[in-house]
Chain A
Amino acid sequence: MSDPESVHITVNGEPWELALGSTVAELLERLGLRPEVVAVEINRELAPRSTRAERILAEGDVVELVTLVGGG
C-alpha cells in the first residue's frame, strides 16, 4: 500500500518516492544537483527557475532534469 505521506514521481525515467509537499528545489538538493546548471521540465513544461522553491511536486509528476551537454 502506498504511504499517504509520500508522493511518487518519475525523474528522468526513474521512479522516485518523495515526502508529501516536497518542492522542486528540495528535489534538486536531494539529488545533489547545483540548481544553476539544471533546467527542470515537469509534465512537458519547463518550470521557471523563479518558481522552484514554491512548486510542490504532485503524485504522478513526470520530471526531466536537463544539464547542458559539453562535447562537440
Chain B
Amino acid sequence: MESRLDPFPQRFDRQVRFAGLGIEGQTRLAQARVLMVGCGALGGSLALYLHRAGVGELRLVDRDVVEPTNLPRQVLFDERHASERVPKVEAAAETLARGGGPTRVVPHARHLDARLLDELGRDVDLILDGTDNLATRYLVNDFAVRDRIPWIYGGVVGAGGMVMPIVPGHGPCLRCLFPQPAPPGSLETCDTAGVILPAVAAIAALQAGLALRLLGADEQGRASFKPALVQIDVWRGETHRIEVNRQTDCPCCGDGQYEFLESAELQEPTVLCGRNTVQLPASAVRPDLTALEQRLERAGARSVRRAGPLLRFGAEECEVTLFGDGRALIEGTEEPARAQAIYDRFLGA
C-alpha cells in the first residue's frame, strides 16, 4: 500500500523521463481506471503492459478458462493454469500480482453483456479491446459512443491485425468505417486461420502505446492526437496507416442509434433446462452457412454436416446446431458463458 501513496519512486523513473508522460502523465496514469474486455491473447498482453505502466485500476472481464492451446500466445498463463482450467481473469490477476506495483486488478469471470458493460464501464477512463468476437466490439462501440468513453479496437489473426482508437467527439467510431459487423462465419478467426504471438504482441503494443497516450497526455497532447486505422503484418514486415474521418451518415455516432446495445439487452442466452443445452439468440446478420461449412472443417470442428437450413458440428465437448438466422443450440453445457465462448471461437462473431 505504501507504494500507492509514494509519488512514483524508482520504479517508474524511466517512464517519467519519457517526455510524452513526465510526472504529470504518470500521475494521470496512476489515477486512471481501464476496462479490459477479453483477457486472452490481446487482452493478456494489454493487461501486462498497462499493469507494468502503473495504471490505477484494471478491470478484467473474460468468461473463458485457460486451455493448453492458449499457451503459445497468451503470455499471462502457464501450464498449471491450463491443466486446472483456471478462469483466465483469475490466472491473469495471479500472474500480474507477481510483478508488484501499484495497480489494482479486479477480475470478473463473466460474459460481458450490455448490463455488465454498463456496470463495469460507466466510470472508466478507457475501454481496451482484447475480445475475440465482433458482437462484443459493436456492443462496446455503441456503449462508448453513447457514454463518450474512448476505446481502442484491436483485432489479430494469422500474422497480423489492425488497431483503431475511437475517441467519441474526436474522430470516427467503428461504425463510421464498418456500419455492420460481418456475418458470423465470414471472417477468419484464430481458430480457423491460426495466430502467432508476434502478431498479438505487435497489435497489443500499438493499442497499449495509444492507451498510455490517451490516459497520460495533457489536454494538448490529447487534442493533437490524430486517429488512424493501422494494419500490421509481422510475417511480411509491413505496416499500413489509413487516415480516418468521421462519417456524418454514421448510424451510431452520426444518428445516435445504439442498436447493438439495445438488442443485446433483449437477447440473452437461454438455458434449456433438463436438456444440457444453451440457446444463443439470432445474430444481427445472417451467417453464410456454405462458407462456414468449409471453414469449420479446418478449424477442428468434428463431423460438420449440412442438414438443409441447418449446420451441425461437434466443437470441443459440445454439439452445435446453427440455424440460418444465426440462432444456435449448444448441447453439452448449461453454462451460457461456455456456450457463448464456443460459438465465438468457431463462428467468430
Contacts and interface: CB of A to CB of B under 8 A. Distances in A.
Interface of A: 34, 36-39, 41, 44-46, 48-50, 64, 66-72
A44 to B, nearest CB: 8
5 contacts: A39-B178, A44-B243, A67-B178, A72-B130, A72-B155
Interface in B218-264: 229, 231, 240, 242-245, 247, 249
A69 B157 contact: yes
Contacts of B137: 68
A57 B69 CA distance: 45
Nearest to B164: A68
Interface stretch (B186-194, B310-318, B329-337): B186-194
A37 B188 contact: no
B242 A69 contact: no
Interface string B30-61: 00000000101111000000000000000000
B244 A67 contact: no
Contacts of A36: 178-180
B349 interface: yes
Given A45-B243, A46-B245, A69 B155 contact: yes
What bracket does the count of chain B residues touching chain A fall in?
35 or more
Given A46-B242, A69-B187, A71-B195, A34 B182 contact: yes
Chief secondary structure at chain A's binding surface: mixed
Given A37-B180, A41-B242, A68 B188 contact: no
A44 B244 CA distance: 10
Nearest to B200: A72
A71 B160 CA distance: 10
Nearest to A48: B247
A66 B134 CA distance: 15
A58 B179 CA distance: 26
B175 to A, nearest CB: 10
Contacts of A48: 245, 247
Contact of B181 (A37, A44, A46, A64): A37
Given A50-B249, A66-B242, A72 B181 contact: no
B133 A68 contact: no
A49 B248 CA distance: 10
B189 A37 contact: no
A71 B177 contact: no
B173 interface: no
B162 A70 contact: no
A29 to B, nearest CB: 16
Contacts of B154: 72
A12 to B, nearest CB: 10
Given A45-B243, A46-B245, A50-B249, A70 B349 contact: yes
